[in-house]
Structure 1
Amino acid sequence: MECFMKKNDMVKVTIEDIGVNGEGIGKVDGYTLFIKDAVIGDVVEAKVTKAKKNYGYARLVNIADESEFRVTPRCDVARQCGGCQIQAMSYARQLEYKNEKVRNNLIRLGGVPQELLDEVMEPVCGMEEPYRYRNKAQFPVGTDREGNIITGFYAGRTHQIIPHMDCAIGRAENKEILNIIISFMKEFGLSPYDETSHKGLIRHILIRTGYRTGEIMVCIVINGNGIPHGDTLAERLAEIPGMTSVTYSVNREKTNVIMGREAGLLWGQAYITDYIGDIKYQISPLSFYQVNPVQTERLYETALEYAGLHGDETVWDLYCGIGTISLFLAQKAKHVYGVEIVPQAIEDAKKNAQINGIENARFYVGKAEDVLPEKYENDGIHADIIVVDPPRKGCEESVLHTMVKMQPERIVYVSCDSATLARDVKYLRGSGYEVKRVKGVDMFPHTGHTEVVCLLSKLKSSKHIEVELKMDKLI
């Protein structure tokens, strides 16, 4: 069957769903079109930009009939920026969409029966105030066509900077910080970095804020060895209430990676601190730390609740990062073992455990698929509960295999992608585990992303599982 749709065709289509990148999805005579900036319920006129056999992409030209869920975005560059893909949809409908996405992925990709999800799936956890929630922002620095220094955000799928200093989901103080740095650059003739020529000094500006402590960090990414008159810049930034750390990161590589490997201190200390629950964390410019502190606490509380700890359990936390979940669990578990591939993250995890006086958590550097089998088979460290919080690609099958072999009573799976969660749930359900609870947590309002916490409990006897695993090896 040949595609009947061609590039530049004009179509009128009703938007029925939202894609993984926040684009509207509609159908014309069964042919699927992805249309950026369209909202569920909109009837739109669009121009086809790319036509494949079974689906295509189109540009929104006109909204013929507005959806009842369409609202005016709070940010005036939301459409150009592309960071908040669904800010034009009411927040209540965003939550409904995210709940549907998690549910549909578990059914279609995970093979979880609808009747079971009706029993175990809990309402998505949204925010009371879904703006100003991000505690971290990274601003590229460049010039406009007139040569003026600008900063803001990249337009979707490009490296074109949309000038904007007051993001609706970012912290209000970011604007003042950016104005100070841009004015300083103009005063002392410091040029922004140019990707094409690989010349210019200032590449990016990283700002992090402690939600509970109010401490602020500024890290300036540079294409050089240092910042001329950096002490003057530091003095000006230090006048901002809450400023705790002013640093720079050296990145002289021709790369899209923002942060460099070398760092220097201009003023204050090299880190800020913040709390999740009662646990205190040190956060450096390179530390991974969840960007939505309000929802992070709810996410971890959900994971802790699902773990069902009584105080005598041994818990493994795979893909543990700087130990954020590990230390949360250590408050109620007997032993916690964290695994993470990034050495610096493990150093941060150990430091955070020390800061909080937590002595029942140990951390290992390495791939989960390597460390877990070694500690289980060679050292005999078992697991009553395993918590996994993998990257977007989900767990390696070898990790899933070892998890099943270790026979924990419960597996708490924290996921940033419900599609790969569903795939892994299918494996675990086929290996003697069943879904007992599921909840979405909206960590990223106004975007198409959502976090999910899923509890799976062991159903079969360990002997039954061991026989199945031996059979798998024979096959």
Structure 2
Amino acid sequence: MESSKSASDEGTETASKVEVKQDEFSYLEREFTSELFKLEINNLGIFGIGDFKKMLKSLEIDAAKVKTPHKRDCAFICLKSKEALDEAIKKLTGYVWKGKTLSVKIARPNADPYIKRKNEEQQEDSNKKVKRTVESQTVPLAHLTYDQQLEEKDKEMRKVLTAFGNNLRKLNPSFKLRKDEIPCEFEKIKPSPKIDDYRNKSEFAIGRNSNNEIVVGFRVGSYSDGSVEVGEIAKLPHIPSKVKEAVLKFQDFVRQSKFLPFNPEFNSGHFRQLMVRYSEFSKEIMLVPGMYSNNLTEDDVTELKQSLKDFYSDGEGNLVDVDSLYYQHLGKRETGEMFNPVDHLCGKTHITDVIHGLSFRVSPLAFFQVNTAGAEVLYQSIIDLSEPKENTTVLDICCGTGTIGLCFAKYCKNVVGVEIIPDAIEDAKFNAEQNKINNCKFHVGNSDDYIQSMVKEVVYGTLKKEDLDLVAILDPPRSGLHKKSISAVRSALDLKKIIYVACNPKAAERNWLDLCKPESKTYKGDPFRPKKAIAVDMFPHTSHTELVMLLER
């Protein structure tokens, strides 16, 4: 373990030393990385990443990473040891795959993106540099009136839909779309009822500002573009004042602690992030400090947890009235772990919020819309688009704590939800019971595996075919749904209507196109067609917009 003293000296030294060109590959000597054992495989021809991974698996090559450069017939794989590297070279050299003989060579590791960018910045004319601020990084539209913000976002969503229409026109000519035509009806963007202080969850970085002071706030840039600086949040309009108070008090704790902020450049230090959840309804606040624990002993972790409990129970921290306190391990995850684990330290295990008059219990890792007031508008838009009837069954894919499904419950026959986070499903079941809703069922699992069985369960449970009315709500993470999930939706022939909820509409286009492309071996069943889209401003002052799309077949 690196001592606190050496890490502290290192951080101070880094901030104060004269800028000289740094070694972009020095990280290879400081820490283990699979970039040390990297191969370039050539003469692959045209290939799919899925087929390539299957080939590696068939040869019993366990790659830590697989990278495929755009428009090149090669791939890079990173192995876990020198022995694994040598074994992979033997197996792949001269191997014939899809009629082509593969060639293999040891590849150069990637440069550290942070150091690379810092070196590039030193060569640029300093007069041309524009200093980035927390405001410009997190709330770039805050300088506009709210009407102007809505106008900008409405235009942006029209551009997204137009681009989708042009790509869909090429992919599925049977839809007979004109060039630059929005492929569905589009409603004007709906405003958020709450413009300021709306975020009920934020994840703050812990680091140092330009004066080398410890700060809990947001990063001014990203590691890959050469910035590890953290800026303060005092002037940000979307963070509630109580959350700001809690952040400042936690900042005091970090500054007093013998443990240090995490330094991504040297992979040293301990305090990495602080998640804060806040309910405007109940006024409850939950803190989840995220600690880089790989360089801490068990005794260190015990000491750190106890100091957190003491600070918020008997120390300065009790001035903030923290209702729930957790500790999160942000280190290398164990095999099979999908999320960094959390330990409850003191206070309540959950906080409570309200949407559409329903009470929702929220746990630390569960997904819950960050704008509670905006969620009311969003969920009503989803319900209106779905046009549920008395015999409608709603499939809530990526259901989180069950918020969408439970808001649907009074308008339909049944709700069946699936979510990969077990704690979120426990919350969903509790929320159904708490609100006396008995027509909702929730399952823990991967949506890839559950969609087909959920549809079959509903179909077999419906006596008359004419009584079957299925609606699927797809509310995936920002990156969208996996192709397997889209394939499962397409193959569920009894599913005729989908509501796709996109918090990142540009990224969602890939899913939309797969839902709408002509039938193939991968995507069975008739294609869906976009019918109507509604934009909802869930994130005032930022450049983000939620887009809800109705697709039917």
Deviation at 1:426? 4.2
User: In the comparison of the two structures, how many residue pairs are matched?
Assistant: 386
Residue number among 141, 146, 162 corresponding to 2:230 in the alignment = 162
- Residues 453 and 330 (structure 1), Cα distance of their counterparts in 2 relative to 1, 3 Å cut: same
Aligned position for 1:394: 480
State the distance in 1 between where 2:449 and 2:396 align. Answer: 14
- Residues 156 and 183 (structure 1), Cα distance of their counterparts in 2 relative to 1, 3 Å cut: closer
Aligned position for 2:537: 442
3-state SS of 1:101 partner: helix
- Residues 367 and 229 (structure 1), Cα distance of their counterparts in 2 relative to 1, 3 Å cut: closer
State the distance in 2 between where 1:335 and 1:60 align. Answer: 63
Matches within 5 A, 1:250-261: 250-253=329-332, 260-261=340-341
**TM-score (structure 2 length as normaliser):** 0.62
Instruction: Give CA-to-partner distance per residue, 1:275-324, whole Å, 9 cap, x none.
Output: 11122111122122111112111111111111112222112111222212
Residue number among 546, 550, 553 corresponding to 1:451 in the alignment = 546
State the distance in 1 between where 2:339 and 2:470 align. Answer: 38
Instruction: Give CA-to-partner distance per residue, 1:247-270, whole Å, 9 cap, x none.
Output: 322334499x9984131323x212
State the distance in 2 between where 1:391 and 1:188 align. Answer: 35
3-state SS of 1:294 partner: helix
State the distance in 2 between where 1:424 and 1:221 align. Answer: 32
Query: What amino acid is the match of 1:354?
Result: E
Structure showing the higher strand proportion among its residues: 1
State the distance in 2 between where 1:119 and 1:391 align. Answer: 23
Note if 1:172 corresponds to 2:250. Answer: no
Residues 134 and 220 of structure 2 are in contact (CA less than 8 Å); yes or no, is this contact kept in structure 1? no
Query: What amino acid is the match of 1:157?
Result: S
Matches within 5 A, 1:299-318: 299-318=378-397
- Residues 328 and 92 (structure 1), Cα distance of their counterparts in 2 relative to 1, 3 Å cut: closer
State the distance in 2 between where 1:60 and 1:428 align. Answer: 49
Aligned position for 2:86: none
3-state SS of 1:132 partner: coil
Residues 152 and 161 of structure 1 are in contact (CA less than 8 Å); yes or no, is this contact kept in structure 2? no
State the Cα RMSD in Å: 3.5
Residues 109 and 419 of structure 1 are in contact (CA less than 8 Å); yes or no, is this contact kept in structure 2? no
Aligned position for 2:320: 240
State the distance in 2 between where 1:228 and 1:193 align. Answer: 20
Query: What amino acid is the match of 2:374?
Result: Q
Query: What amino acid is the match of 2:196?
Result: Y
State the distance in 2 between where 1:254 and 1:365 align. Answer: 20
State the distance in 2 between where 1:59 and 1:87 align. Answer: 27
Deviation at 1:138? 1.8
Aligned position for 1:357: 436
Residues 388 and 411 of structure 2 are in contact (CA less than 8 Å); yes or no, is this contact kept in structure 1? yes
Residues 181 and 233 of structure 1 are in contact (CA less than 8 Å); yes or no, is this contact kept in structure 2? no
**TM-score (structure 1 length as normaliser):** 0.71
3-state SS of 1:173 partner: helix
- Residues 181 and 391 (structure 1), Cα distance of their counterparts in 2 relative to 1, 3 Å cut: closer
Aligned position for 1:12: none
- Residues 254 and 342 (structure 1), Cα distance of their counterparts in 2 relative to 1, 3 Å cut: closer
Aligned position for 1:408: 495
State the distance in 2 between where 1:244 and 1:211 align. Answer: 13
| Worse-superposed segment, 153-162 or 195-204 | 195-204
Aligned position for 1:141: 206
State the distance in 2 between where 1:170 and 1:371 align. Answer: 37
State the distance in 2 between where 1:441 and 1:87 align. Answer: 17
3-state SS of 1:138 partner: strand
Note if 1:123 corresponds to 2:175. Answer: no
Deviation at 1:411? 1.8
- Residues 278 and 188 (structure 1), Cα distance of their counterparts in 2 relative to 1, 3 Å cut: same
Structure showing the higher helix proportion among its residues: 2
State the distance in 2 between where 1:427 and 1:251 align. Answer: 35
Deviation at 1:272? 0.7
Residue number among 113, 135, 138 corresponding to 1:78 in the alignment = 135
Aligned position for 1:152: 217
Aligned position for 1:54: none
Residues 305 and 345 of structure 2 are in contact (CA less than 8 Å); yes or no, is this contact kept in structure 1? no
Deviation at 1:209? 0.6
State the distance in 2 between where 1:357 and 1:393 align. Answer: 34
Deviation at 1:393? 3.9
Query: What amino acid is the match of 1:108?
Result: N
- Residues 231 and 385 (structure 1), Cα distance of their counterparts in 2 relative to 1, 3 Å cut: closer
State the distance in 2 between where 1:450 and 1:385 align. Answer: 23
State the distance in 2 between where 1:132 and 1:258 align. Answer: 31
State the distance in 2 between where 1:374 and 1:308 align. Answer: 24
State the distance in 2 between where 1:244 and 1:237 align. Answer: 11
3-state SS of 2:343 partner: strand
Residue number among 339, 349, 352 corresponding to 2:418 in the alignment = 339
- Residues 358 and 105 (structure 1), Cα distance of their counterparts in 2 relative to 1, 3 Å cut: farther
Deviation at 1:335? 1.0
| Worse-superposed segment, 143-152 or 409-418 | 143-152
State the distance in 1 between where 2:282 and 2:164 align. Answer: 38
State the distance in 1 between where 2:406 and 2:247 align. Answer: 34
Note if 1:372 corresponds to 2:451. Answer: yes
Residues 371 and 538 of structure 2 are in contact (CA less than 8 Å); yes or no, is this contact kept in structure 1? yes
- Residues 387 and 181 (structure 1), Cα distance of their counterparts in 2 relative to 1, 3 Å cut: closer
Query: What amino acid is the match of 1:148?
Result: E
> 5+ unaligned residues in a row in structure 2: which ranges?
1-116, 118-124, 170-174, 294-300, 462-467, 519-525
Residues 318 and 386 of structure 1 are in contact (CA less than 8 Å); yes or no, is this contact kept in structure 2? yes
Deviation at 1:85? 4.1
Aligned position for 2:370: 291
Note if 1:102 corresponds to 2:160. Answer: yes
Aligned sequence identity (%): 26
State the distance in 2 between where 1:367 and 1:120 align. Answer: 32
| Worse-superposed segment, 448-457 or 192-201 | 192-201
Aligned position for 1:38: none
Deviation at 1:88? 4.8
If you compute each CA radius of gyration, which structure gives the higher value, 1 or 2? 2
